[in-house]
A and B are shown apart, each in its own frame.
Chain A
Amino acid sequence: MTLSKTEKPLTVTEDGGYLPGTHPDLPPPASVHGPVHWIQYNLFGSVTNTALTLLTIYFLYTVIPQLVDWIYLDAAFEGESRKDCRAVANGACWAFIGNRLSLFIYGFYPEAERWRVDLTFVLLILALVPVLYDGTPQRGKALIYSCLYPLIAAFFLVGGFGLERVPTDQFGGLMLNIIIGVTGIAFSLPIGILLALGRQSHLPIVRILCVSFIEFIRGVPLITLFFVAAVMLSYFVPPGTNFDLLVRILIMGTLFASGYMAEVIRGGLQAIPKGQYEAADAMGLKYWQSMRKVILPQALKISIPGIVNTFIGLYKDTTLVIVIGRLDILGIGNSSLADSKWQGLSTEVYVFVAIFFFISCFSMSRYSLWLEKKLHTGH
């Protein structure tokens, strides 16, 4: 049925009513739709709900203005000591952070060599792009670079071959967190996959070994492993050899994350229906082929949230190196508090470090959500 635009259908009867079936759609009444209803339903639906709303508003009303005052409005951004800060403002004394920003980032890395850290960091971002984003041009070649990146980073940071050597005990601050975090993340995933496969293996001895390793790692706190790295590991190498504390920390951090990673991936492997394993076998694929082409791509996809949570956990745990005397960003902050010029500014330091960690961890979890959505194939 076609109607020309000028010729409107006659729907209104002479007394102003509508012919049957021609009443235009009216918007739903305000009591079930629209902002008024929304507010009524979501904020003041019942007595408890109203109480909760009022309580929340009161809480926000008392906390937010004070917080904004302290962080920004009444804060001092310049000054040479705590006294300077207090002279201009009663809130946070960010001048402290500003004055020591380079310490927070580079630790005790020699000032003349700091460009190497910056360069490593830029290269890190370049190495991450092809890993994180699959639309990268020439992704295959770029991934080779990403795989080689740890060697390049080690070369620039430690030196040798023409560059001045920097002892690893001068590493510190944010740089240390990133080194431990990135190493752990990069190596714990493959080790975790192997452990998870080992745990499901048909070979009893391999299975027992993997289970004991995983249970051991998950049963002890990370700081005891760091203690082992600091005081005990040197007993197990031949007398006279001395291997770097940072390397020992990296090994322990990686092993720790692998134990947790293995459990996350095992969950993924168990969620794959048995038919997939059987289908892969029926195709005549060998064990490693079926894992690589059929099982792991699916298992890893469903374990993404767990994997990223493990990454975030490891990244946050990098702060624990403070207990064996290495100063990461938190350790630097903590030890700066001893400076008599700046005494009593612990809250500023901790809030600054907290903001830093929040930004990095939150963006990681957002990335995982995005990846999950992108890989979701809808079944």
Chain B
Amino acid sequence: MTTAENQAGETRGTDAPNILLRLWRNKDTRSVILQILTISLLFAFIAYIVNNAILNLEALGKTFSFDFLGMSASYDINQRLIEYTSQSTHFRAMLVGLLNTGLVAFFGVITATILGFLFGIIRLSHNWIASRMVYCLIEVIRNVPVLLHILLIHGIIVHVLPSPRQALYVGDSIFLSNRGLTIPNPVFGDDFSYSVFAFFAAIGIIIYFRRWARKVRDDTGKIYPVFLISLGILIGLPLFVFLITGAPLTWELPKLGRFNLKGGVTMIPEFLALWLALSVYTSAFIAEIVRSGILAINKGQWEASQAVGIKRGRILQLVIIPQALRVIIPPLTSQYLNLTKNSSLAIAIGYMDIVATIGGISMMQTGKEMESMILVMGVYLSISLGISAIMNWYNKRIALVER
């Protein structure tokens, strides 16, 4: 085909437009030309905006540098997991913000998963009234913006809940008021490290036990109640060690002071609102993912298992759930990522996450818009890409091997 085109070109003569036309008509050279064009346009565009940025920065008398991270931040943060004072640096503030984002995302993911699976399973049950109610609940939750959830729950905590003096309480340990949720503060004794060690040892034993149980199941068909035994080991072993080392843990109970609760750990209203709102909002999406994942399993799988005479619970455990997980897990992780990204809305209620610290107050104070935004976006981007990479690896591992 190329030779024919070449000949056609030669007969037409060799002046410049014709050479170009010939190159354009050839599929391979055309794609090269297109790509060169694309890339030169891209570079021209980048050069143009970088040039503009340099001119603009010069006009404002600013420089592009990350030196401001070492300067004193001089603002307070209402929730900090690591030591931080207003004398600390902007970099430290950013770390505090990052940890706050991580904290709310971590708790949010756990509760959203539990709620979501619960909703999804109820939605699938025969129980007409429960499944209808959950359906309505899910539709209402997911058709309302997440920001509205956050503001609504924050509004309820701050405006509707009573002041600390009239706090709602459970026993004398848990208090809920418009200053947040206060729970007892654990005070660890010296020997508590043994229990922590025992906990990790228990996890190791469980992993080993599960492998062994799986092997026994594959070899002989004998099935152990793996979940119950695992749970027993996970709770029992640390508890046993905890008790023989003399229970080295005391609780510091919150006490009602004159105006406020003293002692204990207080979850601030901003954290509570963000945590609850993100979990509830995401759980509605997770419920739909779980439901469609289980429905995606061919009915024949159920029928075949029933025909072999497996019990209903075992069918779920051995046949349906392993297959459904394959469908559920990829969209589930993208929901987890969404939850993490949505936690950036913290800024609307004043929870100091990474956007509110480095991308908010630090940026306003130092005027380093570009540097701050690059940092914030870089952090989110690395979280997302990192988790996507792990997910791709996992998906490859569990993907159905088709024969």
Contacts and interface: CB of A to CB of B under 8 A. Distances in A.
Interface in B313-361: 341-342, 344-345, 347-348, 355, 359
Interface stretch (B3-11, B75-83, B203-211, B373-381): B373-381
A311 to B, nearest CB: 12
A328 to B, nearest CB: 10
Given A231-B363, A239-B59, A353-B148, A224 B49 contact: no
B249 interface: no
A221 B381 CA distance: 9
Interface string A331-375: 000100000000010110011011001100110010000000000
B337 to A, nearest CB: 8
Interface string A296-314: 0000000000000000100
B122 A358 contact: no
Given A220-B377, A224-B376, A317 B145 contact: yes
Interface string B140-160: 100111111001100110011
A362 B284 CA distance: 14
Interface of B: 31, 34-35, 38-39, 42, 49, 52-53, 55-57, 59, 122, 125-130, 133, 139-140, 143-148, 151-152, 155-156, 159-160, 341-342, 344-345, 347-348, 355, 359, 363, 369-370, 373, 376-377, 380-381, 383-385, 388
Contact of B151 (A202, A205, A220, A334): A334
A56 B35 contact: no
Interface in A219-267: 219-224, 227-228, 231-232, 234-239
A224 B145 contact: no
Contacts of A334: 151
Interface stretch (A39-47, A74-82, A127-135, A165-173): A39-47
Contacts of B384: 215, 218-220
A123 interface: no
A114 to B, nearest CB: 25
Interface stretch (A144-152, A186-194, A319-327): A319-327
A251 to B, nearest CB: 14
A89 interface: no
A224 B373 contact: yes
Given A206-B38, A231-B363, A221 B143 contact: no
A202 B133 CA distance: 49
B53 A236 contact: yes
Given A52-B130, A350-B155, A357-B143, 11 more contacts: A203-B38, A205-B39, A206-B34, A218-B384, A221-B341, A224-B373, A231-B363, A237-B52, A347-B159, A358-B140, A358-B144
Contact of A49 (B55, B127, B348): B127
A59 B133 CA distance: 10
A43 B151 contact: no
Contacts of B381: 216, 219-220
A73 interface: no
Contact of A330 (B133, B148, B342): B148
A209 interface: yes
The 5 closest A-B CB pairs, nearest first, are A346-B155, A219-B384, A361-B143, A316-B145, A221-B341
Contacts of B342: 221
A209 B42 contact: yes
B345 A223 contact: yes
A346 B156 CA distance: 8
Given A205-B39, A221-B344, A357-B143, A347 B156 contact: yes
A208 to B, nearest CB: 10
Contact of A239 (B38, B52, B156): B52
Contact of A347 (B128, B144, B152): B152
Nearest to B341: A221
Contacts of A344: 159
Looking at A203, A223, A234, A316, the one whose CB has the most chain B CB atoms below 10 A away is A223
B345 A354 contact: no
A319 B146 CA distance: 9
A55 B129 CA distance: 10
Nearest to A39: B128
A323 B152 contact: no
Interface of A: 41-43, 45, 49, 52-53, 55-57, 59-60, 202-206, 209, 215-216, 218-224, 227-228, 231-232, 234-239, 312, 316-317, 319-320, 322-323, 330, 334, 344, 346-347, 350-351, 353-354, 357-358, 361-362, 365
Given A223-B347, A224-B359, A239-B52, A52 B127 contact: yes
Contact of B126 (A49, A59, A204): A49
Nearest to B154: A346
Given A223-B345, A236-B52, A316-B145, A205 B35 contact: yes
A53 B57 contact: no
Nearest to A317: B145
A231 B38 CA distance: 29
In terms of DSSP, what is the predominant structure of the interface of chain A?
helix
Contacts of A222: 341
Contact of B144 (A49, A223, A236, A357): A357
A53 B129 contact: yes
A45 B152 contact: no
B148 A357 contact: yes
B387 to A, nearest CB: 10
B55 A320 contact: no
A55 B134 CA distance: 13
Contacts of A57: 129
Contact of A350 (B34, B151, B344, B363): B151
Contact of B56 (A216, A224, A235): A235
A41 B359 CA distance: 56
Contact of A365 (B129, B143, B147): B143
B385 A350 contact: no
A227 B147 contact: no
A161 B388 CA distance: 51
Nearest to B385: A219
12 contacts: A203-B31, A204-B35, A209-B38, A219-B383, A223-B344, A227-B373, A346-B151, A347-B155, A347-B159, A350-B151, A361-B144, A362-B139
Given A42-B127, A320-B345, A203 B34 contact: yes
A322 B129 contact: no
Contacts of B133: 56, 59-60
Contacts of B52: 235-239
Contacts of A220: 341, 377, 380-381, 384
Contacts of B39: 205
A332 to B, nearest CB: 13
Nearest to A334: B151
A132 B355 CA distance: 39
B126 A42 contact: yes
B130 A346 contact: no
Contacts of A56: 127, 129-130, 133
A232 B370 contact: yes
A239 B56 contact: yes
B38 A205 contact: yes
Contacts of B140: 354, 358
Contacts of B369: 231-232, 235
